[in-house]
């Protein structure tokens, strides 16, 4: 098994719960209350700002230029790629950039990003990647499972853009680049070091579930 496969194997039960979460299912069948999605969009926009900072820590931690370039490229991909999905939805939902950036960060959101940043600061390049990967890979898995259950989900007039964005070949290729880096950075890790990566990845996967709960309940 590759490093990434070991990480994914450790969280199968947690990830299975994503697919049956009412928020995710609501996106999949188009029944989700748009007010809940509006709240989620603002919080996820704020999340991505700190998520990008985790990649920036990776730039600082990188021991060679090629790894530094990969982390730096990801900051560009998020700020000028993934966040475009959010900006498009925010425009449709009447959310200004000022409103989003002045909205208080929810407790669940702040706890999650604080954990990722701490894991990144305390660890090395591979620990940075372990903190990053749960979000990146789970969104692709969720979008593709939605399409498996409802092949027309990406055509929905409102939620289709979200589904198609995370199920896209472009997003998949970015994830392949990230998993390739993860496998490379931790290829020679000892069992104890691998256990630490699994701990980080599992914690972030649990935080992902809490994020869906937060969005569904609109928790502050």
List 125, 127, 145, 208, catalytic entry: 208
Number of Cα atoms under 13 Å in the Cβ half of residue 84: 9
Pull the structure tokens for residue 99. 């409103």
Residues with Cβ within 8 Å of 81's Cβ and at least 6 positions away in sequence, in order, are 174
- Could you confirm whether 217 is annotated as catalytic? no
Handedness of CA 107, 57, 77, 146 (dihedral sign): negative
List 135, 145, 174, 204, catalytic entry: 135
Alpha-carbon gap, residue 157 to 92, rounded angstroms: 12
- Could you confirm whether 208 is annotated as catalytic? yes
Catalytic residues: 135, 208
């Amino acid at each position: 098994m590759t490093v990434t496969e070991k990480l994914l194997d450790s969280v199968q039960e947690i990830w299975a719960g994503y697919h049956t979460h009412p928020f995710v299912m609501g996106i999949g069948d188009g029944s989700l209350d748009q007010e809940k999605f509006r709240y989620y969009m603002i919080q996820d926009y704020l999340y991505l700002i700190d998520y990008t900072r985790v990649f920036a820590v990776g730039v600082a931690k990188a021991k060679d230029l090629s790894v530094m370039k990969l982390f730096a490229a990801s900051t560009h991909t998020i700020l000028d790629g993934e966040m475009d999905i959010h900006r498009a939805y925010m425009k449709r939902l009447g959310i200004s950039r000022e409103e989003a950036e002045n909205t208080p960060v929810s407790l669940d959101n702040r706890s999650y990003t604080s954990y990722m940043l701490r894991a990144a600061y305390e660890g090395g390049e591979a620990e940075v990647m372990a903190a990053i990967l749960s979000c990146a890979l789970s969104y692709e898995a969720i979008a593709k499972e939605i399409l498996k259950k409802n092949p027309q989900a990406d055509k929905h007039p409102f939620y289709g853009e979200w589904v198609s964005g995370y199920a896209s070949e472009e997003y998949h290729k970015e994830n392949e680049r990230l998993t390739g880096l993860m496998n490379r950075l931790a290829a020679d890790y000892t069992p104890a070091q691998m256990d630490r990566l699994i701990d980080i990845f599992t914690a972030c996967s649990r935080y992902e579930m809490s994020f869906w709960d937060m969005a569904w309940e609109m928790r502050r």
